[in-house]
């Protein structure tokens, strides 16, 4: 027998022992992650419920100086046609959060934070002379500005969770054929001869919204849709990523606004997130 072969052998058994332990601990770690994966959905559902309930309390009951959202947006977050107040029920939670952040932002602060270099292409481009700057947008409305500034990030999150989970059913309204036909033309075709894309190309099929960036048009009060397009035209609302909606609004006539809003008001629609 060669001297040293024992040493070699014991080294080999040591190594195989070590690799045994490595396998055992790898299996244990894998088991831990599998169990964690099984359990975590339940814990996140539970924490979602905590946020939803906190949002519900604020939305229906208000707090100190904060009035109940329901007093304007309705008990089911359904909005109000007469006062041109938007529906919040079933909107994407990140869209709701973004709007509350935009309302809370002060126009003065926005100017001070102007970025000379376009680092974040998702922000709103504003052109001053020959310089284009990218800044987060603002949305002006006296009562929503005042209110949004009183909300914490936690409040915004809770309210977004609560409203995004509410169900909503639209009651389609009748309009004359000509109005609907013109509205449908804008919604599905746009005005390609002027480079205006169809509303549905961004707002999704039947204007039902697409993700967090493109809100639904169907199920929003007609008066609200018309008012928002007007606000883009006058610059009161200036918070859309890449000025996507501003460029559209700039090309719409008063007749277009009425026709297209009527078209969406005539569609049946329901959102049920349960
Ligand atoms: C005094 C009435 C009033 C109260 C109270 C109120 N809102 Fe509003 N809200 C409005 C009006 C009016 C608008 C549309 C304003 C505009 O033209 O930008 C609006 C718009 C919004 C929007 C934008 C929706 C969209 O589709 O872009 C969100 C989100 C919102 N409100 C959330 C809330 C929340 C959350 C609360 C409670 C903390 C609340 N509002 C309380 C009147 C109110
Ligand atoms: C190129 C993409 C694009 C097209 C095309 C487009 N929009 Fe929009 N629109 C947007 C974006 C993005 C927003 C959300 C802006 C924000 O973040 O607040 C928006 C928001 C709106 C809102 C406000 C909704 C709310 O809940 O506050 C209305 C109303 C609207 N669009 C109407 C229209 C109509 C009508 C057309 C067709 C004539 C149209 N849009 C076409 C991108 C588009």
pLDDT value at 70 more than 90: yes
- Cα separation, 144 vs 127, whole angstroms: 27
Report how far ligand 1's centroid is from the alpha carbon of 228 (Å).
12
Strand partners, 214: 210
Helix, strand or coil for residue 115?
Answer: strand
Within a domain: 206: yes
Within a domain: 244: yes
Q: Which residue range(s) make up the domain with 70? A: 62-271
Q: Which of 158-167, 191-200, 234-243 has the lowest mean pLDDT?
A: 234-243
In short, whether 215's Cβ falls inside 6 Å of ligand 2 is yes
Q: What is the mean pLDDT of the chain?
A: 87
Q: Which of 10-14, 80-84, 215-219 has the lowest mean pLDDT?
A: 10-14
| Residue count of the chain | 274
- Stated pTM of the model: 0.85
Confidence band for 36, pLDDT divided at 50, 70 and 90: low
- Cα separation, 273 vs 140, whole angstroms: 30
Question: What pLDDT is attached to residue 267?
Answer: 98
Within a domain: 77: yes
Within a domain: 252: yes
Within a domain: 196: yes
Within a domain: 265: yes
Within a domain: 218: yes
If you average pLDDT over residues 231-256, what whole number do you get? 93
In short, whether 202's Cβ falls inside 6 Å of ligand 2 is yes
Question: What pLDDT is attached to residue 112?
Answer: 46
In short, whether 135's Cβ falls inside 6 Å of ligand 2 is no
Within a domain: 14: no
Nearest atom in ligand 1 to the alpha carbon of residue 87 is 26
Instruction: Indicate which CATH number applies to the domain containing 90.
Output: 1.10.760.10
- Cα separation, 246 vs 238, whole angstroms: 7
Which one of 47-51, 246-250, 260-264 scores highest in mean pLDDT? 260-264
Please give the tally of structural domains in the chain: 1
């Amino acid at each position: 027998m060669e001297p040293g072969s024992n040493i070699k052998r014991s080294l080999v058994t040591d190594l195989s022992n070590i690799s045994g332990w490595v396998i055992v601990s790898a299996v244990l770690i894998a088991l831990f992650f599998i169990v964690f994966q099984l359990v975590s959905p339940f814990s996140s559902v539970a924490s979602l419920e905590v946020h939803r309930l906190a949002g519900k309390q604020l939305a229906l009951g208000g707090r100190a100086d904060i009035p109940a959202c329901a007093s304007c947006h309705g008990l089911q977050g359904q909005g109000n046609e007469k006062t041109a107040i938007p529906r919040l029920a079933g909107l994407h939670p990140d869209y709701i959060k973004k709007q509350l952040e935009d309302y809370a932002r002060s126009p003065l602060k926005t100017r001070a934070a102007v970025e000379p270099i376009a680092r974040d292409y998702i922000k709103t481009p504003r052109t001053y002379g020959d310089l284009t700057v990218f800044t987060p947008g603002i949305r002006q409305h006296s009562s929503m500005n005042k209110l949004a500034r009183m909300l914490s990030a936690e409040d915004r999150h809770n309210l977004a969770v609560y409203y995004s989970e509410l169900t909503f059913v639209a009651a389609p309204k009748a309009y004359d054929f000509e109005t609907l036909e013109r509205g449908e033309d804008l919604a599905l075709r746009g005005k390609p001869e002027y480079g205006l894309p169809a509303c549905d190309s961004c707002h999704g099929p039947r204007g039902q919204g697409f993700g967090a960036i493109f809100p639904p048009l169907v199920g929003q009060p007609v008066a609200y849709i018309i008012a928002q397009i007007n606000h883009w035209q006058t610059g009161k609302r200036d918070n859309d990523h890449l000025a996507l909606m501003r460029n559209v609004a700039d090309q719409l006539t008063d007749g277009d606004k009425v026709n297209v809003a009527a078209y969406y008001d005539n569609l049946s629609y329901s959102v049920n997130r349960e």
